[in-house]
Structures are given as structure tokens and as C-alpha cells.
Structure 1
């Protein structure tokens, strides 16, 4: 009875208020707008070339249904290698971003030391300045380190690209962790490392999921740095591998759409896994 009194049910009439209906209509319209390109790619990936150009919005029929694009992608190219390269680079870069970003955020939010604000400002500049402006310097550095045409070059670049945003998000959440929990752990003789991994990190899982979503998608979809740093056939990523089906005069649209359909699947799966924690992180951050 107490719980019911504290959380009364929302009246049915209030659910149909004009303001609430407008918000839901806007959200539904945005969802349709965001999912439309993905649906268009998936639909046309199983249609013949003629059907794609005749009516790209139509669903495939028995006459237009074909899987020739998937057969070409999987049989005549190293798409599985490109797919594995993208997955390896994205997951390893994501691990580095979360781990190093959380460690840096812990240091900046928990300890007071000379240069704390300077480091925070420096990381904030990393968010505002695109990393692509330093492409020439990055390429020169990778040549000196002999990392050109290696996946390690991409992992290092994506880690550096995602760290500033990760530190900003995670440090804000870490400041909200009650100091009583950390002080109680210290009184029990728990070291700082165990406090970080066993007390703090489990409490900021929504923030970690938010960082994961915001950093893995740009790394997976990037074409710029794979084209410059790792263009060899054994280090190509999915986005770079798709380009071989696009020519100056002829484009194999069946293969392009099939490759894009296969490339979008991991991001949809990872987003579905992180979506709940992502929403919690965004809604929690809205009031911080």
C-alpha cells in the first residue's frame, strides 16, 4: 500500500495529452528517419540490379529476389578477412578507450594535483579539434614506428580519437560516486586499484556503455585512416573493402549493398547489447 501511495499510477487521460503525443510523434518520426537507410540497404541487397533501379523502395518479389551479391562478396573477395580486421580493431580500440579513459578519469576526478585543470582543458581540446587535422603528422609518426599497413596503427589512432570524450564522460560520473563507499573501502584496507575495479567501475556501467556506443561506431565506419594507414589487402577493413565494388564507370550495386548489409550487423548487435545501459547513462547524465 505504501508503494502504491508513493508511486500513484499515471491517469489514462494524461497519457493522451497533446504535449505528450507530440513528443512521441517526434520520437517515432526520428526513429523512422534513422532506420530508413538501413532498411533500404537490407531490402535492395536481395534484389536484382534491374529491380533496384526500377523501384528501390519496393520489397523483393519472387522474380526480383536474388542473393548474387552475397555470393560474390563471400566467394570472390576476402570479405571475411576485412570483417575480422574491422572487428578486431574496433573491439581492441574500444577496450583501450574504456580502460585508459576510466583510469585517467579516476585520476582527474579523485585526486588533486598540480596540473589537474590543465590536463582537463587539454582533453577538452581533444574533443573540439578533429584528429584528421593531424593526418600528415600521424602518417609520419607511423612511418617512423614502422606501423604502416598494420592494424596496430588503426588501434592507436582510434584510441587517441576516443579518449578525450571517454575521459570527460567517465570523470563526470565518477564524481557522483559517494565518497562514503570509497572511504569505507579504504578503512577496510582495500587498495586504490581494487577500489577502482571493484567499487567504482561497477557503479558507472551506464557511462561505460555510453562511451562504448559513441566510440565504436566511428571506428567501425571510418574510411579515412584505413585508406591512409592500412590500405594493403591483408589489413583492409570492411569500409575500405567495399570500395573495390565501386568503379569509375561501373558499380556492382548488388555486391555493395550485400557488403554493407553484412557490415551493419555487428553494430546492430552491439548497440542492442549496450542500449539499456546507454539509455540509463544518457538519462542519468541529463541531471548531473
Structure 2
């Protein structure tokens, strides 16, 4: 399945890659990537010779329709693991456990430290619960990865993707073994995560925002809702004014008509 979908992706989009030499030929490693688009989970595994396992939303495996079936088939084919994220803490623990198991098998584990796709193309604060805990529990090196321009391929609201060249920039491995055994220290988890996000920022050239992407999405949604309500109120006021003007105009026409009526004999 990876060959069946990866071949057309390479041929149609011709993605460029820098830093492939930073991916170890064997052994465990964590690929920590920014997250700009749904297609990130297609392009990155496609361009690597080794299998990389990401924790994917369970919805990607259960979405109906042709697109949903193709997505589920691809994710299964490249070894992606579905995780139900509806339960907060339970889902996080399940994802961490799955990541540790992947690395203990000597494989590549992929993770998006932001926790969700960027709502506006900027780089947001990394969540320390997953990436740092997995890294410290396993001692696996963390390889920062920057996806470039993938959000421009299929912007929100567009059905057909744009044929353009996205990019992948892979940084040098980061060693956090000095912190092993300290995965219970939240300050250490924060420091590890921030160091990784800094490297991703340098690779991607994105503007960094010191807040979580989930919070940014809520703010954007609330702002859009408020704007919609404002527009609705403005339309109501405009309609009221139009009705008043129409009423005044009708009254003036009626008065004019009465004045123009001929006097009765």
C-alpha cells in the first residue's frame, strides 16, 4: 500500500527532502515534526526508506466514503496506529505506551509535538506529555523534522489538491539521555520539548507562538463566531433601516398622490 500510494505522490508532487542522512539506517529514533496539513502523514512516511509509525486519530480509520477508505488503507499499510482521543488522559497514556513499544522494537516513531495541526501556518508550543516522556523512557534520539508548504497543497475548503512541491527538512538527532529517569519532572519535560520545538522552528522558518495550537483554534473559532454574530446584527439593522426608508417613501408617495388628485365638483 505504501508503494501503491507513495509512487503517485512522488510522481505528482515531487517532494524535496533535505537531511535524509540524519535518519539512522537501523535502531530506534523519534521523528518530531511540525504539523501543517493532513498530508504530512502521507509525505513523510512516503519519502523514508524505513517504516515510520505515527499515532493517528481513530477517525482516520473509520471515516466513511471513498476518501475515508483510501486513507484508512494507507495508514494501515504503512503501520499507523489508531488511538481514540476522545478520552483525555487515557488516550494520552495509550499513545505513550504505543510509542514506547514501537521504539523497543527498534523502529522509527513519529509524533507531532503540537498535538494538532497548526490553524494558521505558525509553529505552536509543544505539548510535553508525549514526546518528552517517550524520549526519556526509551533513551531514543529525537530527530526534528520540518514539513514545508504542505498546508498550501489543499487549503481548507478546497476539494482538489494543488500540484506543487512540498518539502521535508530533517535535522540532526538530539540526545536527551542525560535526563533519563527524570520523566516525572515536569520542568525537565518542558525543557526537552522546548529544545525540540526550537530546532523545528529553525528548520521550518515558521513564526513561533508561545501557546498551544488547541487554544489558538478555540480563539479563532470564537472570533469567527463573534464576527458572524456581528455581521448578523448588522444585517438586521440594515434591514430595519431599509424597512423604515421604504415606509417613509410609501408615506411620501401617498401624500403626493393625495395632493395630485383633482378636486371633486
Query: Fold match, TM over 0.5?
Result: no
Which protein has the bigger strand share? 2
Structure 1 length normalisation: TM-score?
A: 0.24
The structure richer in helix per residue is: 1
Q: Bigger radius of gyration, 1 or 2?
A: 2
Q: TM-score, normalised by structure 2?
A: 0.25
Which has the higher relative contact order, 1 or 2, with Cα contacts under 8 A spaced 6 or more apart? 1
